[in-house]
Structure formats: C-alpha cells, structure tokens
Chains A and B, each alone.
Chain A
Amino acid sequence: MFVLPRLIRRERASARMAVLAPIIAIAAAVTVNLILYLVMGKNPGAVFHAMLLEPFMSWASFSEVLLKTGPLLLIAQGLAIGFRAKVFNIGAEGQFILGAIFASAIPVWFPQATGGWIWPAMLILGAIGGALWAVIPAFWRVRLNANEILVTLMMSLIAAQVLNYLLLGPWKDPKGFNFPQSVMFQYDAMVPILIPGTRVNVSLLIALVSAILAWVFMQKSFRGYQFLVGGLAPRAAAYAGFSEARAIWLSLLIGGFAAGLAGAAEVAGPIGQLQRSISTGYGYAAIIVAYLGGLHPIGIVASSLLMAVLYIGGDNAMVSADLPVAAVRVFQGSLLVFYLAATTFVRYRLDIGHDAKGGTP
C-alpha cells in the first residue's frame, strides 16, 4: 500500500539551519528560474542584473525600493501583532482602501484649503478609517464568533465597491471627463518629501517608528506577552486570566490602524489623488511580508525591504530584459514557495514509508 509522506515535528530545530534556510530558498529559486529563462531564450544574466542588482545600483532606483517598502512595512507590522495572537486579519487591503478614502475626504471636500495641518490630519483620519473598517470583523468575532478570516476578506471586497461608488459618483472630479478619479490633491494635502529629488516621503519614517513601537510592544510589554501566550496556548492564557476578546479587538484595531495609515500615505504621497488602482495588492503582499519576517518586528523590516526589491526588480526586468510579466510573477512566487518550504523543513522532517501508526506498510 502506498503511504503519503508525512511531516513529523523535529525534537529540536537547528539554529544553524534556521539561518541558512532563507539563503537556500533564494539559491533554489534563482536556479529554477535560471533554467526557465534559458528555456525561454532570455539572457539570464540580464534578467538577474535587472531584477536583483539594479534596484541597488542607483540612488534613483533604491529610493523607489524605499518608497515601496513604506506601506509594506507599516501594514505588515500591524498584521504581525495580530498573527502572533492567532487573530488572522486577511483584510488589510480593505482597511488600506478605507484609509485612503478617509484621508481623501479633506482634499475632496476642501480642495482650496491650505495649511501645514492638512497632511497630518489626513494621515490620522486615514488610520481611523482603517481601524473603523476593522471594528466590524472584531465585533462579529467577539460577539457572534464569526470567523475573522472570512469577514475581513469579504470586507475588502466591500471596500473596493465603496471606492468605486465614490469615484463614479459623488467624489468624481467634475473636470475629469467622467473618468473615475477624484481631483488632484492640493500641495498642502501631500506628505512632505523626505529625500529631495525622489518620491520618498515622511511616511517611511512613520513606518520605521512603527517598527520600533511594534518591537517594544511585542518584546517588552506585558500586553504583548499576553498576546503571545494567547496565540501559543489559548487555554493557558485563559487560566491566567488573559482576555481573548481584548486580544481580538486590539489585534484587529492595530492592524486596521496601520493599514489605514498606509492607505492615507499612498494617496497623499506618490499618487496625489483618489483613484481606482490605489493599491496594487499591498494588503495581501503584507501578509507574506509578515510571515517572511518571522512575525518579528526586526525580521519584518528586512522582509519588507526584500519584497520591495522583488517588486522594483521585477518591473525593471520587464522594461530592460524584455521579460513578460508572467515570468516576473513566477520568480516572485517561487521565491516565497521555496522560503516557506525551507522554513517548514527547519521545524519538521519528512517521514516516508510509515503509516500513521508508525508501522511499515
């Protein structure tokens, strides 16, 4: 009888392998894709040059990496706190959109307003909007025991339709030839540029500060400890009197707050108006970023940077190395698959040829 291989948890995960796993994953992904490019008749040297080296080779392109890192970092930090408490907020995309909408209310309703208060007010409003969007799944989970994975995911679809409604109706630019987009924001509604000559703005600093705050919260505070215990051993946490409801509420609110802030910074930053394609999947990519970073605040800083390099590098490869968009996605996807496989084998081993009772077939 054929028996499927099973995963057995290792007695002890090797520390050396834990460090090596990401490197092995990258090497494996590069090898597989190298073969793919050769089969496709592309020059693999040019592809990897464009994808992995070019993002670092000029200040202009590295600044774009930093620009892309900002929202990923911010959202992933917020999500990781909840993931650690085993509260799975999959709807950061929708919270991001609501943040963008709330922030846009100021320039859309007061396009003539001036003053240095506008962009900070927009960011705060955006964060509140994202958090409010997370209130609904939190309430349903705590009061009705509705699965937050499903509810947050579906709330994202609703958010996209709310955005569509506003852009096709009340918030449409009256001079925009009926295109579904808002007015361009005034100067004071834009987050100030951090590095002159680039598009990197102050929101990157906010994201970095959020990483520090997340680290303090998770590693140093008692509440962070409660979250961790609640996630690892819910019954132990309950015996210790740690409130599960509070963990759910805080997890979702923090996640929504961070995602909303990122959405606000995006419309008030590189986009400069509310439009349909404000998020190119940041909310979903941030889930991967959070897990790639091991749900650790410092790890997430590194993984968000890596993810940003992959995005920018992938775009570069399309422009410079004539790579089709699908091949870029294959590279990004295979890297994540190999990484997840590698980290799995750090903690588990394959058991081949034994059935579930431990005997040989």
Chain B
Amino acid sequence: MIDRRTFLQTTALGAIAAAIGARAHAAEPLGIALILPSPNGDVGWSHSLVAGLDPVKAAYGDAVKITIVENIPEGPDADRIMNKAVADGNKVLIAGSFGYQNGAMQIAKRDPSVTVLHASGFMVAPNFSPFAAKYFQGTYLMGMAAAALSKSGKLGSVSAFAIPELITSINAFTLGAQAVNPNIEVSVVWVNSWFDPAKEQEAAKALLAQGCDVIFSNAQDTPSVISVCEEAGVPSFNLNSSMKSYAPKTYLGCVATDWSPFFKASVDAHVAGTFQGANAFLGVADKVVEVVDWSPNVPADLMAKIKEVEATIADGSFSPFTGPITKADGSEGVAAGTTLTDDQIVAMDWHVKGVATPLPQ
C-alpha cells in the first residue's frame, strides 16, 4: 500500500524531476527530423509535409530545431540516415514515405524516447504513429464537379501505384461523378512511379486521346499532368498542394492536405510526454483534407450541393463508401445500408463499377 508520506515524497520528487526536465528541455531545442522521398519542390507531397511543420516552428520558435533531409530513396540508405538523425539528438522523426517503414519501426523499438510519425504505413507502436489522408473524401467532391463539366462522360486518372490509398481516391472520384451522372466512366493509367514527369505526361496525353475530358492527377509531385491538360484546354485537379498557377485557365481545384494540425498535436503530445502511437487516418473533419481553389466554371447550383455534401462528410453523417456499391466485376462491394470502416478502406483492393480499367494484378 502507498501511504500518504511516500505519496508526498514521490510526487515531490516527480515535480523536481519534471522541473529539471523542463529546464533541460528549455536549454536544448527539441530536434525534429523530416525525411523526404523526393526533392522539396514548390508543390506536391514533400512540399505539403514541409509546410505542415511551419505552424510547429511558429508555435515553438527556437525551442525546436527542424532538420529536413530530401530526396532519400527507400532502402538501406534511408535506414542509415534516419539512424543518423536520431543519433544527432532528434527526438521526433517524421518518415515521409511508406518504404521507410521497417527502418523507422526499428528506431522506435530501440529508443522509446523517440517519437516516430510514418507516412502511409500500417504498423503501430506506443511511440510510432502511421499517418494517412482521407483523400477519398475530397476526390468524391471533385467527381461531382467533374461529371458536370464532362461532355463525353469519360473521365481519366493518371495514377502512381495501385495501392489502397490511390485506389480509394479513384473509387470515390467515380462514385462522386456517378452521383451526378450515373453513366460516367473512368479510365486509369498506372505509371508505377512516384516521380516520372515524362511518363506521367505521356499517360495524360493517352487519356485525352481516348476522349477523357476531365483528368485527375493522382499523386504526382509535379504539375506534369496539370500542364498537359491546360494546353489541351481540359479541366484537371490534383492532390496535396494547389497547382493553380500552372493551369490558370482550366484548373478544377485541389484536394489539399494540411498536416499541421496532426504534426502540431503530435509534437505537443511528445513535449508533454503523453504521446500515444495510433493509426492517424485523417480527413475533412480533422482539417487535414480540404478542397481548395475551386474552378469558377463549376455551376453555382452544383457548387452549393457540393458544399452541402462536404458539410455532411465533415460532420460524419455521410461517407462516400456507403452501400449499395457494386464492384467493377459486377459483384457486391458494399451492401445497402452499410458503410465501409476505416480498416476496410485502408485495405481496399477493388474498383467500383464505372472504373473501366481493370486493376493490375
């Protein structure tokens, strides 16, 4: 049993220890290291992660020191660089690509004082949180607008890899379009690269040649697809950060990601010592996903409807993946009256009916 005296003693000791800890903390800035898979450009995935740290910097000032290491290929080099960042005293490690998962998890297990945030993964530990955006919430809204602007009824998507994150984006895009025009069809070109502007542009041109007249640039880090569509006079949209300046005439909008609420909360929790690793699957309600730079060409009445749907997604009363949904092969995907759970969404490996291109097997 703990009597009153020992309780007082331990709490007093705890308070002193906390005070010392706080002082030591004040003297030594908290090191935050961000490891990026591609160059930190003006737009795109890496850029959105870097921008997400700005509010952390603004809030903590000199109490944090942010180190950004860009263009690190997934593999043994990334493992070493993450180890080096932690050995240098960085206590919060943001691993900005799926392929860093195993190396980052090893660091988290070896050193419990380090907090690891890992992009798009599925592993969780007490000091390790995977994070991903519910892009599908935004692409559903984009699908509604795309269907209204399309004359041919054919939409296209240049997509990086056939992983669940991108599959769900395409599916929700298709479902949103079908909510406006049930006969819409979506064609997909998988370029199998996160960064290959030449191939992405070829893919975009191929989709245009097939008659697609709204294009979804799914996870490209440069305005490769967007600029091809601008030249062709075809509306297009992309993820992560706005590329409106590259397509001033035809830009449809951007399903933007703002990681700052998540990064700020995680750093706050790390500083307070209350960080608890969990799967962070964040969307419109968390202010992580937001559709910005809407095209003025979207009809006003449809825009009002889109805003209504956005509000129901934000308050949780509506999910794009609500049944009945039929799979591309004709079988039942989601039964009427049921909604896919987050766990089902992050593992989605089938296309909805209306996606004309079969999924690569």
Q: Does A240 contact B (CB under 8 A)?
A: no
Of B14-22, B70-78, B206-214, B269-277, the one touching chain A: B70-78
A162-B161 Cα distance, complex, nearest whole Å: 17
Q: Does A312 contact B (CB under 8 A)?
A: yes
Q: Does B151 contact A (CB under 8 A)?
A: no
A184-B99 Cα distance, complex, nearest whole Å: 12
Q: Which residues of chain A have C-beta atoms less than 8 A from B11's C-beta?
A: none
Q: Does B164 contact A (CB under 8 A)?
A: yes
A278-B67 Cα distance, complex, nearest whole Å: 26
Q: Does B27 contact A (CB under 8 A)?
A: no
- Give residues of chain A (28-61) contacting chain B, Cβ–Cβ below 8 Å: 60-61
Tell which of A61, A277, A312, A315 touches B75, judged by Cβ atoms closer than 8 Å.
Answer: A277
Q: Does B98 contact A (CB under 8 A)?
A: yes
Tell which of A67, A276, A315, A322 touches B81, judged by Cβ atoms closer than 8 Å.
Answer: A315
- Give residues of chain A (91-107) contacting chain B, Cβ–Cβ below 8 Å: none
Tell which of B73, B76, B84, B102 touches A316, judged by Cβ atoms closer than 8 Å.
Answer: B84
Q: Which residues of chain B have C-beta atoms less than 8 A from A179's C-beta?
A: 98-99, 161, 163
What is the 8 Å Cβ interface bit string for chain B, positions 287-306, against chain A (1 contact, 0 not)?
00000000000000000000
CB distance from A329 to the nearest CB of B (A): 10
A315 touches B163 (CB 8 A): no
Nearest A residue to B98 by beta-carbon distance? A179
Q: Does A320 contact B (CB under 8 A)?
A: yes
B81 touches A319 (CB 8 A): yes
Q: Does B63 contact A (CB under 8 A)?
A: no
Given A277-B75, A277-B99, decide whether A178 and B84 contact each other with a Cβ distance below 8 A. no
Q: Does A304 contact B (CB under 8 A)?
A: no
Q: Does A168 contact B (CB under 8 A)?
A: yes
Nearest A residue to B347 by beta-carbon distance? A177
A184-B164 Cα distance, complex, nearest whole Å: 20
Q: Does A356 contact B (CB under 8 A)?
A: no
Tell which of B39, B83, B87, B162 touches A178, judged by Cβ atoms closer than 8 Å.
Answer: B162
Given A177-B164, A180-B161, A270-B76, decide whether A275 and B99 contact each other with a Cβ distance below 8 A. yes
Q: Does B184 contact A (CB under 8 A)?
A: no
Q: Does B341 contact A (CB under 8 A)?
A: no
A277-B349 Cα distance, complex, nearest whole Å: 24
- Give residues of chain A (233-282) contacting chain B, Cβ–Cβ below 8 Å: 266, 270-272, 275-278, 280
Nearest A residue to B86 by beta-carbon distance? A319
A324-B360 Cα distance, complex, nearest whole Å: 37
Q: Does B79 contact A (CB under 8 A)?
A: yes
Q: Does B342 contact A (CB under 8 A)?
A: no
A275 touches B71 (CB 8 A): no
Nearest A residue to B70 by beta-carbon distance? A325
Nearest A residue to B37 by beta-carbon distance? A277
A280-B73 Cα distance, complex, nearest whole Å: 8
A168-B122 Cα distance, complex, nearest whole Å: 20
Given A169-B361, A178-B162, decide whether A324 and B99 contact each other with a Cβ distance below 8 A. no
Nearest B residue to A311 by beta-carbon distance? B77
Q: Does B80 contact A (CB under 8 A)?
A: yes
Q: Does A164 contact B (CB under 8 A)?
A: yes
Given A177-B164, A271-B75, decide whether A168 and B98 contact each other with a Cβ distance below 8 A. no
A320 touches B162 (CB 8 A): no
Tell which of B39, B88, B102, B361 touches A319, judged by Cβ atoms closer than 8 Å.
Answer: B88
A322-B65 Cα distance, complex, nearest whole Å: 11
- Give residues of chain B (89-141) contacting chain A, Cβ–Cβ below 8 Å: 98-99, 102, 122
Nearest A residue to B166 by beta-carbon distance? A178
A164 touches B84 (CB 8 A): no
Tell which of B77, B85, B349, B360 touches A280, judged by Cβ atoms closer than 8 Å.
Answer: B77
What is the 8 Å Cβ interface bit string for chain A, positions 310-330, against chain B (1 contact, 0 not)?
001001101110101100000
A181-B88 Cα distance, complex, nearest whole Å: 31
Q: Which residues of chain B have C-beta atoms less than 8 A from A316's C-beta?
A: 84
A175-B99 Cα distance, complex, nearest whole Å: 15
CB distance from B355 to the nearest CB of A (A): 15
Given A178-B161, A178-B163, A180-B161, decide whether A315 and B192 contact each other with a Cβ distance below 8 A. no
Tell which of B39, B84, B164, B346 touches A315, judged by Cβ atoms closer than 8 Å.
Answer: B84
A96-B179 Cα distance, complex, nearest whole Å: 51
The winner among B74, B75, B79, B347 for most chain A CB atoms within 10 A is: B75
The winner among A177, A181, A276, A320 for most chain B CB atoms within 10 A is: A177
- Give residues of chain A (153-209) contacting chain B, Cβ–Cβ below 8 Å: 164, 168-169, 177-181, 184, 199
Q: Does B33 contact A (CB under 8 A)?
A: yes
B81 touches A177 (CB 8 A): no
CB distance from B306 to the nearest CB of A (A): 30
Nearest A residue to B103 by beta-carbon distance? A270
CB distance from A69 to the nearest CB of B (A): 13
Q: Does A351 contact B (CB under 8 A)?
A: no
Q: Does A355 contact B (CB under 8 A)?
A: no
The winner among B84, B85, B163, B192 for most chain A CB atoms within 10 A is: B84
B67 touches A315 (CB 8 A): no
Q: Which residues of chain A have C-beta atoms less than 8 A from B33's C-beta?
A: 319
A275 touches B74 (CB 8 A): yes
Nearest B residue to A325 by beta-carbon distance? B71
B73 touches A277 (CB 8 A): yes
Q: Does B278 contact A (CB under 8 A)?
A: no
CB distance from A72 to the nearest CB of B (A): 13
Query: What 3 pairs between A and B have smallest CB-CB spacing?
Result: A270-B76, A277-B73, A277-B75
Q: List 9 A-B contacts (CB under 8 A).
A: A67-B76, A177-B164, A178-B163, A178-B164, A199-B76, A275-B99, A277-B74, A316-B84, A324-B70
Residues in B lying within 8 Å of A, measured CB to CB? 33, 39, 67, 69-71, 73-77, 79-81, 83-85, 87-88, 98-99, 102, 122, 161-164, 167, 192, 346-347, 349, 360-361
In addition to A318-B81, A319-B67, A320-B84, 20 A-B residue pairs with Cβ atoms within 8 Å of each other are: A60-B83, A67-B76, A164-B192, A169-B361, A177-B122, A177-B163, A178-B163, A178-B349, A179-B98, A179-B99, A199-B76, A271-B75, A275-B99, A276-B74, A278-B75, A312-B80, A318-B69, A318-B70, A319-B88, A325-B70
